[in-house]
Amino acid sequence: MDFNQVAHAFATFYHDAILKGISEVISLYRENSMMTCETNQVLGINAITEKLAPFTKSRREIATLDAQPGGPGGSIIVLITGIVKLEGQEHAQKYSQCFHLVPESGTYYVLNDIFRLVYG
């Protein structure tokens, strides 16, 4: 599978998992994973769980997905733009999210995740 196929498969899995709840999506992260959500940077599974919790049950639609090889170790950089509608909110919002996926035992985990709502 090439990096574009991995990126698309990851995005599909991620968006399905976040609808199912935090326990499904947090399995994609490790203790050395870092997330920036808006302007807040956190490190580790517990802190990332807290940041992701408000986004579970959110509906997302991907508008664009771009991927590139992340380096000689086989990692992949994935940039997604789209719209997200949070549970209980009336209007959807545009967002961008960048993932740095790192290979591990025949699969990938999220080393870095940068999420930003796009206003205006």
- Per-residue model confidence as pLDDT tens digits over 17-71: 888 888 889 999 999 999 999 889 999 999 999 999 888 878 889 999 999 999 8
Q: In 10 A of CB 46, how many CB atoms?
A: 10
Q: Do 49 and 26 form a contact (C-beta atoms < 8 A)?
A: yes
Q: Answer for the pair 81, 95: CB distance below 8 angstroms, yes or no.
A: yes
pLDDT band at 90 (very low <50, low <70, confident <90, very high): confident
Strands (E), 5-75: 29-37, 40-43, 59-69
Whole-angstrom distance, CA of residue 21 vs CA of residue 61: 17
> What is the pLDDT of the chain when averaged over all its residues?
92
Residue 72's CB: how many other CB atoms inside 10 A?
6
pLDDT > 70 fraction of the chain, expressed in percent and rounded: 100
What does pTM read for this prediction? 0.92
CATH of domain 3-118: 3.10.450.50
